[in-house]
Structure 1
């Protein structure tokens, strides 16, 4: 069954992990989280990280995709799902230009992975310092 997936960082078009995970996926448009969520750049790889702490931070801007189970499994590996502190949760998102809200999956990190912190809370990830890792 296909799922909606909201991405806000290195999986967006034009960023380092897009080709590895979402190239060819159905792009549904520019979306934002309905709730304020904390998102910042952190860790030794300068990675964008969002925390599942509604009410803190900003409405985070990103992109919405429709993905199948095979692609989602690949993305889960890319996002280290199954390792401590790496989560995939369902959130509510809405089109930036206005429209009906939708439920979508999104990747979250635990706070303990965010060391060191390189920015304050952000609403839109545009940082270019991310250091990609080698994958299979």
Structure 2
């Protein structure tokens, strides 16, 4: 996606519950710090236009969508914690879960938006 630059792999400073959820086997991080594991993933620098597109993809404009918050993450290469945007979904809005708490996302059951049937 235009406007994104990968900064490398980072890990959350606090533990969060990360699960595979919903009928599309999507990644869901729950806004419950101190529960689950420290989560590892790629961190991207995003310009304003890219953030706007990501917000649309994550359905932040819908009551059932994700919401964006800042949390602290640290590079796997070391260094001081930095602030990063993450997308959370409230537990009550996750229709079902298909995994225990994860440390990273790796699930081939995910159904990409382009392959989903029309609602």
Q: Same fold (TM over 0.5)?
A: yes
Please provide the CA RMSD for this pair: 1.6
- Equivalent residue number for residue 48 of structure 2: 69
Q: Is the 8 A contact 2:10 2:74 kept in 1?
A: yes
Residues in 2 aligned to 1:55 and 1:98: alpha-carbon distance in whole angstroms: 22
Alignment TM-score, normalising by the size of structure 1: 0.78
Q: Is there any run of 5+ residues in structure 1 with no aligned partner, and where?
A: 1-21
Residues in 2 aligned to 1:71 and 1:109: alpha-carbon distance in whole angstroms: 20
- Equivalent residue number for residue 38 of structure 1: 17
Residues in 2 aligned to 1:23 and 1:122: alpha-carbon distance in whole angstroms: 29
2:75 is aligned with 1:104: no
Aligned to 1:71, the other structure's residue is in SS state: helix
Query: Structure 1 residues 120 and 23 mapped into 2: Cα distance closer, same or farther (>3 Å)?
Result: farther
Q: Is the 8 A contact 1:32 1:96 kept in 2?
A: yes
Aligned to 2:51, the other structure's residue is in SS state: helix
- Equivalent residue number for residue 10 of structure 1: none
Which of 24, 27, 37 in structure 2 is aligned with 1:48? Answer: 27
Segments of 4+ in structure 1 off by > 3 A? none
Alignment TM-score, normalising by the size of structure 2: 0.89
